[in-house]
Amino acid sequence: MGRVDGKVALITGAASGLGCADAEILAREGATVVLTDVNVDAGEAAAESIRGEGGNATFIALDVADEEQWQQVIAHIRSEHGRLDVLVNNAGLVIMGNPEECSLEAFRKQNAVMSEGVFLGCKHALPLMHESGGGSIINMSSIASHLGYPIYFAYSAAKGAVRAMSKAIAIHCQMNGYKIRVNSLHPGAIDTPMLDQTTSELGLDNKEDLSPVVGLGQPEDVANVVLFLASDESRFVNGTEILIDNALSIQ
């Protein structure tokens, strides 16, 4: 216990799924967590649940594609907590469509959240994290950045951008003497509401059919890696990508 005692962590897309699991484990291990999401009711409920378990959690509404809202959230954290040690860029969405069928609107919407949102989060968090003495940025990508999923073309493109940006930001921080580590996570089939959506859209009877050989991971399988990267245990892990897919990507 107490692996992230004293740290302040900001998690996007924290109202449900992976983001909520990340917030829960970081709070349980001693961090002050700031949950953000566009789903206000679910986000507030998630923060209240964490507080009910003895954790220190608050919720702030945030559309990650809105730069002004990012500036307001970072300013709030600076005012309320005086520091930021961990940023988990987790917010995401998925809209089906292959390269010929995907509309420009759908492409832009997904990239606004998962590519531009990660960019804005890192851009505006870096100064406060540097002032805080350093920290860890954890960007949620996907094995879709490694594999070819034409039906989820725009999603894959956005997650590929996350993978590349994470490496560039890690080197930027290193070159400028910032003690800020930046890594990307690449989950496979994880049992979340987004997986339920995918199962329905593909017309499958059971979500287990999405990964019959490898099986489905649970949100805590990803959250445990987030905890490791948020903690000082991972102080020499930087600029890398970690696949959490039970070898799905090398089948």
Residues whose CB falls within 8 Å of the CB of residue 51, separated by 6 or more in sequence, listed in order: 57
Strands 135-140 and 180-187, by their bridges, are parallel
Decide: 112 and 65 in contact? Cβ < 8 Å.
yes
Tracing tokens 């559309």 back to the chain, one arrives at: 63
- Active-site residue, selected from the candidate residues 149, 152, 155, 178: 155
Positions of E strands within the chain: 8-11, 32-37, 56-61, 86-89, 135-140, 180-187, 241-244
The answer to whether the CB of 111 falls within 8 A of the CB of 154 is: yes
Local structure of residue 112 (DSSP, 8 states)? I
Match 């216990």 to its residue by tokens. 1
Length of the chain: 251
* End-to-end C-alpha distance for the chain, whole angstroms: 36
Yes or no: say if 50 and 27 are a contact pair by the CB < 8 Å rule. Answer: yes
DSSP state of 242: E
> Which tokens in the block code for residue 153?
């073309």
Contacts of residue 33, defined as CB under 8 A and 6 or more positions apart, other chains included, come to 9, 10, 11, 14, 23, 26, 27, 47, 50, 55, 56, 57, 58
Cβ–Cβ under 8 Å, residues 25 and 227: yes
User: 155 an active-site residue?
Assistant: yes
Active site residues: 155
